[in-house]
Amino acid sequence: MSLDAAAINPSAAKAGTSESAGSASTGDLPDRAQYVVVGGGVVGTSIAYHLAMLGATDVVLLERKQLTSGTTWHAAGEIVSGGTTEDALWMARYSAELYARLEAETGLATGFRQCGYLQLATTQRADESLRRETAYMRSVGMTKEVLSPREVADLVPLMRTDDIVHGFWTPDEGRANPVDVTMSMAKGARMRGARIFEDTEVTDFLLEGRRVVRVRTPRGDIACEKVVIAAGLWGRELAAKAGVTVPLQAAEHYYLLTEPIEGVTPESVPVIEDGEAYGYYREEGGGLLVGMFEPVGKAWALDGVPRDSAFAVLPPDWDRMAPFLEVAMKRFPALENAGIRTLFCGPESFTDDLSPMLGESPEVDGLYLSCGLNSVGILSGGGLGHMMAQWLIEEHPPLDLTGFGVDRTHEFQATRLFREQRTVERLGFLLNDLSWPNAQNTRGRDVRRSPYHAHHVADGAHFVATSGWEYPDYFAGAGVEPTVEWGFERGEAFERTREEHLHARDNLAIFDLSLMSHHLVQGPHSMAVLNRVCANNVDTPVGRIVYTQWLDERGGIIADVTVTRLAEDEYVVVSGDNIHRRVPAWIRRQTRDDEFVVVTDVTGAYSLLSVQGPRSREVLQALSPDDFSDEAFPYLSARKVELGYTPLWALRVTYVGELGWDLLVPTEFGATLYDQLRDSAASVTGTFRPTGVGALDTMRLEKAFRDMGHDIDSTDTPLEAGLGFAVAWDKPGGFVGRDALLKQKESGPLTSRLVNVLLGSPDFDLIGDEPIYWDGQPVGVVRSGAFGHSLGAAVGIADVSRDEGFTAADLAAGSFEIDVAGTRVPTQVSLRPFFDPERSRILR
């Protein structure tokens, strides 16, 4: 391979930003607009285009430099739909359809062509991952073929194929020209009345209370109703001007462009992804584009993107990229003698969990985010723009975006150190490592630790992390180093989780759930506001626990929580970590001007221990002078008690389907109480066995307990989710979403609902996203799954739908199968839990 690299010339990208392309507006900046879009890349122009397409007549887009000058101009432009996330797949497919038709509408081509998409499996674990993906995509009507190595060689003759297990071929996908896509959408937006201003930097946001009312630029202020930040690399810094936390960081991203190579044509080389090699390939100008998503990358501009940065080209690090180029030469031997046009390095922005930052900010009303696209901005841009435009106009998204919402994130994730550490591995995770269900980040760890962390280390915990919290998934044993290999094989984790699960069912488990979020809601109107927010009735006696959902106006579930009344004017709300910032924001937005409520985040003040199992009452009673009998301490009640030295609130509640209590332990007492609980367990039961959250997940799925953001989301109502029992239909004043829920209740059989599934064979595992078939027809997908060790087979929660609906009789009579990596497995389906449906174990 010749190393006479030349610098890339961005002039071609800049050339597209002419008035004839519809990218610039002349004249004075307007003094007001209903919607202001900040950022002129593919995402910003798509939002402006779709706002105008949906009928918005007062749309302004502001671009600090020139359209496409951030990341869009140097994007590779693949339009492919790898992965099994329903929402991401919809956005990718919509983008492809949009880019294919835009030229007819605007007169500007997008460069979109269907050259096909080929994914290579070079290991057995990659083969299983792609078989699972293929099963899902076929169930939703996509064409995806599994090719033998010989068929792959016939498809791409220039490529080495002797190490390939299978190829996975999607013929109707391909690529587009990112600059042309952007210019075509910009022109389409202007044709419908949107105004676009280049060289107009947003320098600040003006607020009235908690609402954005004005955007400031050097050319003047614009009064507005809603603002959406689609500023890519600048998203974090720009949002910070309004006091909004957006964890986002730019990283260096590389691709190599060769001179023309004999035999390389648009027809002979499709878009090719080689995940285990962290690379991708396609034809470009008769040569090859070699893209690299190295597993050890490098953050760029940690202290802020240079203000004057535009069409940025970064100095390439040949030494760091040489090993990946060597791998590419093995895949395409013709590269060894090819001349190089350039080794290009440019910045792209990434998020902590590789999901975008979308939606209304929790801190400022009317300020929306649409950034952090993690190198798939062109792929997602068309669908994302349509979705965001609907969200802005209708004030709720058409898809579930719990996993994409900016309110899932935490402030620490925006710190410089965390961004520096976590960004290093984002590229490799994006292209490959996230394919494995047990993959875990290795950098930016040990950020948040419970008071029990040292105990867990001593007990041989395998830690996993969420929202920065380190929590034990399972325990290998005291003094034993856990062994985990990423992939689908049942290893140490499966066996240890089985042992912990069965011990908890027969004896006792103490789960460290300090990652759960806790908020105190206090004040004279706390009950009134919470009762408006909650679908269930929280106007209860002090000491009562209420399980409830929070709904939007459509009746969709936006939070799944417990609300415990601690005093007449005080409640504690316990929720999952993924909606931590949503809880106070939603309460604030539902509080009326004449109401006074204070919401305090006390997550760090209390560590949550969940003591569960048939022996839990005995173990707690041995430490307390208080009465833990069923008569004195019934199910769903809360009491202030003493446990050893510790005064605390104990809540009789379970997430695993056993007799048990959740303990809100003041953090300073945590380590002491944990020692005492271990000693009590050993004394009462004869042993103490630490139990990880992996067992909690397998146990809760046997009991069909829902998990917000995994099993239930904003596209589900309580009726569809099987949670109608938690709705207080007739409580005074009603609740948000009641009218929509009543309408659904009165409209006949549900066309979509959550059901419980149990495989008919113990030889297969469910991890989520497996399609489910009824009498041979696809009717849904598994949302969450795990092995049910008390049931002897994999168990899960699935979403099924059809126009006629599903009754209990249909479920009992139908022939159901779940496709696990290409194998149809007979499956039981039920509306009731498969484990202890009568709740006898909980109520003893």
Phi/psi at 214 (nearest 5 deg)?
A: -155, 145
* Placement of tokens 């048939």 in the chain: 614
Using CA atoms, how far residue 299 sits from 63, 80, 248, 253, 419, in Å, is: 24, 26, 11, 9, 8
Whether 563 and 726 have beta carbons less than 8 Å apart is answered as: no
Cα separation of 721 and 481, whole Å? 40
Residue type, 603: T
pLDDT of res. 17 = 41
Token pair listed for 587:
């309460």
CATH fit for domain 118-170+253-347, picks 1.10.8.50, 3.20.20.60, 3.30.9.10, 3.40.640.10 = 3.30.9.10
Is the Cα dihedral 23, 29, 34, 38 positive or negative?
positive
Q: Edge-to-edge, what's the strand order for the sheet holding 117-121? A: 145-147, 166-170, 117-121, 271-274, 279-284, 287-292, 249-258, 340-350
Residue type, 441: N
For the chain (844 residues), the mean pLDDT of every run of 10, in chain order, is 35 40 66 98 98 97 97 94 79 94 97 96 97 95 96 97 97 96 98 98 97 97 98 97 97 96 94 96 96 95 93 93 93 95 95 96 98 94 97 92 93 97 96 95 97 98 97 96 96 97 98 98 98 98 98 97 98 97 97 98 97 98 98 98 98 98 98 98 96 98 96 96 97 97 94 96 97 95 98 98 87 90 97 96 96
Phi/psi at 612 (nearest 5 deg)?
A: -130, 155
Q: 276: which DSSP letter?
A: G
pLDDT of res. 25 = 59
Q: Residues 637-644: contacts with CB within 8 Å, 24+ apart? A: 637/543, 637/544, 637/545, 638/543, 638/544, 638/545, 638/564, 638/565, 638/566, 639/543, 643/673, 643/676, 643/677, 644/672, 644/673, 644/676
Topology match between the domains 118-170+253-347 and 517-685: no
pLDDT of res. 292 = 94
Length in residues, the chain: 844
Whether 102 and 188 have beta carbons less than 8 Å apart is answered as: yes
pLDDT of res. 665 = 98
* Segments making up each domain of the chain, as ranges: 118-170+253-347, 517-685
Cα separation of 743 and 733, whole Å? 17
pLDDT of res. 10 = 35
CATH number belonging to domain 517-685: 3.30.1360.120
Whether 722 and 754 have beta carbons less than 8 Å apart is answered as: yes
pLDDT of res. 82 = 66
Residue type, 769: D
Using CA atoms, how far residue 557 sits from 61, 550, 798, in Å, is: 32, 6, 16
Whether 419 and 80 have beta carbons less than 8 Å apart is answered as: no
